[in-house]
A and B are shown apart, each in its own frame.
Chain A
Amino acid sequence: MNNLIKGENHDWEMVIGLEIHAQVKSNSKLFSSSSTKFGSSPNSQVSLVDAAMPGMLPVINKYCVEQAVKTGVGLNAKINNYSVFDRKNYFYADLPQGYQISQYKYPIVGEGKVTIDFKDGTSKDIRIVRLHLEQDAGKSLHDQNPSKTYVDLNRSGVALMEIVSEPDIRTPDEAGMYISKIRSILMYLNTCDGNMQEGSLRADVNISVRKPGEEYGTRCEIKNLNSIKFIKQAINYEAKRQIEILESGGSIEQNTMLFNTSTGKTRPMRNKEEAHDYRYFPDPDLLPLEISEEEIGKIKSSIPELPDQLKNRFIETYKLSNYDASVLTAEKQTSDYFNETINSDSELKNHAKIVVNWITSELFSLLNKNNLDLNNSPVSPENLGQLIKLISTNEISGKIAKDVLEDMFSSGKTARQIVDEKGLQQVTDQDEIAKVIDEVIAENPKMVEQYLAGKDKLLGFFVGQAMKLTKGKANPKMLNDILKSKLK
């Protein structure tokens, strides 16, 4: 695979690292008992602690700690028995304390790795540097009043996990696959809802370019990207920008950039000189976080099957390809759907590949067309299972099955109902098929002559004609066999 970008004189390689901010799935905030519900009316979920009233003190939410440990285990990472909360000091209107409580020197989770799978069956490990817990800030609302800024503190104090990768990513696609993989793991673990539109998962992208094999170049950081599409766009634009500068003899300034989603361009937010001095120091209001091996063990034992384990199980049990299995396990809802479908009838286990294809191509494309996802699919796994069973037992042909699925999708009826109502059963009666073939042969004597003279390709023509007459219902294999025997 070629990951390089063509330059004027030589190729360029991107070097990319991601900092993912994942909102911890928890009913209450990291250091207060306020609710974390999204979309509530402004400042309705703000405790005295969240508003940083004088004399208010943070108290760690143990559930959020467990969620972070769980996530660490899911990222194959080292869980640190000792970690420390630090204050990151800076002024902003939506940062009520004047500092964010985060973890600096001693994060709760250390080095780990995740694997991404490519279409060609290969895979790659992306190393994780660390995961730490921190508070989210509130929101500044600039568009409510022409001369004022309003502040909504509902999000202030909500727990985030910051997951930092090594700069192991080399292409925008890999970046997309990496964040998808992280998202998938978090959702399997139920430690983050993965909702990128609502900002539950967002990423800062560090990117530099270099001649392959050379030292890393100077990097820029693109802040706060909340969709995989934007991440890829931003990387592409930023890499091009950097290459243009370098090729015209310039050098890259270490900047923090913002990505404009409507123009698709990045622009500098602040440069290195303007960078904040956050004056990190251990928060004296909080004790160091100590987690015993026993507690870690307990959390480990509560962890469900993760995408990679599930993938391997699917490969082994159903003899699926690595790629098929990774598509199925990329999202929990997909693997759940697959599991329910294949378990709806004991016969289906022998047709796993067909089940995968019907889910990932036919059903997905219908869902896409209708802007739906699996969670609200009008076709239940049982019903899809029934449809596939009809195919595998030759009751209907694959071609007709596509029409049936569309009908199921819009009418909500079962496959059986539709097939019965419309009489779509495959014709498997030898005599009936033979009769149709006789008709076709009789109507096309010239073609028959040509075929017998050696024009084998014409077989398809006869099949097509016969299918037309049976409205597509003839069993294709039987049709073929009878046709061949009659045309000898």
Chain B
Amino acid sequence: MSQSSLKQTLKDLDTKKISIRELNQDYLKRIKEKENLNIFIHFSEENVLKQIDNLEKDNSAKKLKGIPIAIKDLFCTKSMPTTAASKILENFNPTYESFVTQKLLDEGSIFVGKTNLDEFAMGSATNTSFFGNTINPLSKENEPLAPGGSSGGSAAAVAADLCLGATGTDTGGSIRQPASFCGVVGIKPTYGLCSRWGIAAFASSLDQAGIFSHNVEDASILLQSIAGFDQRDSTSAKVDIPNYFENLDDDLNGKTVGIPREYSIDGTPMEISQIWEDAIKFLEKKGVKIKKISLPHTKYALPTYYIIAPAEASSNLARYDGVKYGFRSDEINSLDEMYENTRAQGFGREVKRRILIGTYVLSAGYYDAYYLKAQKVRKLIADDFNKAFKECDFIVTPTAPSAAFPLNEKQSDPIKMYLNDVFTVPASLAGLPGISIPFGKDKNNLPLGIQILGKHFDEQQVFNTALSLERSYE
């Protein structure tokens, strides 16, 4: 695809080859053309034009001045409603700006709209949204494909070239899997790198903001803009943020890549095993030492994740009760009825399923067997990675066990849907940074993704490896 990059666009704006208005009008035009893909929950041309007006009056130099960015509708924004793709927040207008979006605004970027997602980020196909499915822009006519999820709207917005970058959140793979499905770059940084302040919470100990972009360089520029310590988030990390873009270096000579044997799973399509092998071969050619590693607790990652994430979600979503803001049912005869009807009518099936699972695993008598055990296993999974990273500098695996699947295919079977996260969840549990980059195609010419995992706060190595692999593919 001949999409322009953020890096190039910044140059063109700088040299006045193109104006902010021209640039964004081009994007507005495409957004309107692609309305049928249902990528945005909120889009207002007027709002974009207003932002352009304001930027034209602003003479200060800003790093991302005029750059069109799409925002996952889980980030609270002052200028646009925030719904989390849920009926329960259908008409919610925050009076505050999330840490991440504020950083992007401070850099002068333009928000083109709020993108669709699975309700409260719970899903892997952007098909649990109250506002309907998003369609993968790579779909052929009459054969709509899922964009992945939960950040499917943001991945699709980049893939359809409706913006030069997008924000996402990743709890168990919600950035990396849709990036893989839509053929774009998606990075989930280390847990704690970007403040969670102002992001509607799904699972607090796993949620992490990240970036979608057309290429690795753009991702490195954008991630730097949204990273940083925030005292309003107690889990935010006090670390120096390097200039990822300036420090990019695709020379991997002498590095060691870890190849976890537990990621060879029976039933993985040949094509996926093939691109994994291709990536390893390429790295070897670049002077990278190949190290077979073992992450023995990998098989427990999915069940562990599907205990911890719903447990936290069941509590995090308790605040949506119809009392203070958001949807409240009309059928109220008592306080209990208000809760019951508001939440029964306000939440969709998948959200309710996870609230029930989470409530169950935290219940008296079950807590030790489920939640406490899951926490212990989570520690073992993190220890696996810590041990492995003593022997290697980064780990390379496939991103997802399949290419984009047809819409609705797995909707009826939640377990099948949960298996989408099999390669992404372990790093989420360990809080590690991971990127997915497009790497090869399947037999239907659909993109496949390779995932690169790094040590805590070693986003630079993740970017460097990604850049090298990206260039090999070009």
Contacts and interface: CB of A to CB of B under 8 A. Distances in A.
Interface string A41-57: 00000001001111111
A91 B321 contact: yes
Interface stretch (B128-136, B199-207, B265-273): B199-207
Chain B interface size, as a band, is 35 or more
Contact of B232 (A59, A89, A99, A277): A59
A89 B362 contact: yes
A281 B76 contact: no
Q: Which of B235, B311, B321, B335 has the most CB of A within 10 A?
A: B321
Given A93-B335, A281-B367, A287-B235, A55 B359 contact: no
A431 to B, nearest CB: 84
A151 interface: yes
Contacts of B231: 59
A301 to B, nearest CB: 28
Nearest to A285: B204
A96 B325 CA distance: 10
Contact of B82 (A54, A149, A277, A285): A54
Contacts of A285: 201, 204, 234-235
Contacts of B363: 277, 279
Contacts of B239: none
Contacts of B367: 279-281
A286 interface: yes
Contacts of A56: 197-198
* List of 8 A-B pairs having minimum Cβ-Cβ separation, nearest first: A98-B318, A279-B362, A284-B204, A284-B205, A54-B200, A52-B319, A55-B198, A55-B199
B62 to A, nearest CB: 25
Given A56-B198, A281-B362, 13 more contacts: A54-B319, A55-B75, A55-B199, A57-B232, A98-B318, A99-B318, A149-B335, A151-B324, A277-B364, A280-B362, A284-B204, A286-B234, A287-B235
B96 A48 contact: yes
Given A52-B324, A55-B201, A91-B321, A279 B234 contact: no
A279 B315 contact: yes
Contacts of A99: 315, 318
A48 B335 CA distance: 23
A143 to B, nearest CB: 16
B234 A54 contact: no
Given A48-B96, A89-B362, A91-B318, A55 B196 contact: yes
B76 to A, nearest CB: 5
A55 B311 contact: no
B319 A97 contact: yes
Contact of B234 (A53, A59, A280): A59
B67 to A, nearest CB: 24
A60 interface: yes
B362 A96 contact: no
Given A97-B318, A281-B315, A285-B204, A51 B324 contact: yes
Contacts of B200: 54-55
Contacts of B98: 55
A141 B233 CA distance: 32
B389 interface: no
A29 interface: no
Contacts, number: 97
Nearest to A89: B315
A54 B89 contact: yes
Interface in A16-60: 48, 51-60
A87 interface: yes
Nearest to B76: A55
B319 A96 contact: yes
Interface string B316-329: 01110101110000
B92 interface: yes
12 contacts: A54-B76, A55-B94, A55-B198, A57-B234, A59-B234, A93-B323, A97-B318, A277-B363, A281-B315, A284-B204, A285-B234, A286-B234
B347 interface: no
Nearest to A282: B375
A149 B199 CA distance: 30
Interface of B: 75-76, 82, 84, 89, 92, 94-96, 98, 196-201, 203-205, 231-235, 311-312, 314-315, 317-319, 321, 323-325, 335, 339, 359, 362-364, 367, 371
Interface in A57-84: 57-60
Contacts of A279: 314-315, 359, 362-364, 367
A85 to B, nearest CB: 10
Chain A interface size, as a band, is 20 to 34
Nearest to B319: A52
Contacts of A87: 315
A58 B199 contact: no
Nearest to A97: B319
Given A54-B92, A54-B94, A55-B200, A281 B82 contact: no
B232 A53 contact: no
Q: Which of B233, B234, B235 has the most CB of A within 10 A?
A: B234
Nearest to B88: A54
Nearest to A91: B339
Contacts of B94: 53-55
Contact of B323 (A48, A96, A284): A96
Contacts of A52: 319, 324
B98 to A, nearest CB: 6
A281 B371 contact: yes
Contacts of A96: 319, 323-324
A99 B359 CA distance: 13
Contacts of A287: 234-235
Contacts of A286: 234
A55 B235 contact: no
A135 to B, nearest CB: 14
Contacts of A151: 323-324
B75 to A, nearest CB: 8
Nearest to B204: A284
A99 B318 CA distance: 7
A230 to B, nearest CB: 27
Contacts of B359: 279
A57 B233 contact: yes
A149 B96 CA distance: 28
A53 B204 contact: no
B101 to A, nearest CB: 11
Contacts of B319: 52, 54, 96-98
Interface string A244-281: 00000000000000000000000000000000010111
Interface in A127-184: 149, 151
Contacts of A284: 203-205, 235, 312
Contact of B96 (A53, A60, A89, A277): A53
Q: Which of B92, B205, B317, B324 has the most CB of A within 10 A?
A: B324
Nearest to A60: B234
Contacts of B96: 48, 53
Nearest to A279: B362
B278 to A, nearest CB: 39
Given A48-B96, A54-B82, A55-B200, A89 B76 contact: no
A281 B199 contact: no
Interface in A84-138: 87, 89, 91-93, 96-99
A289 to B, nearest CB: 10
A98 to B, nearest CB: 2
Contacts of A48: 95-96
A51 B96 CA distance: 13
Nearest to B362: A279
B197 A98 contact: no
A153 B317 CA distance: 19
A332 to B, nearest CB: 35
A51 B321 CA distance: 12
A287 B236 CA distance: 10
Contacts of A53: 76, 94, 96, 324-325
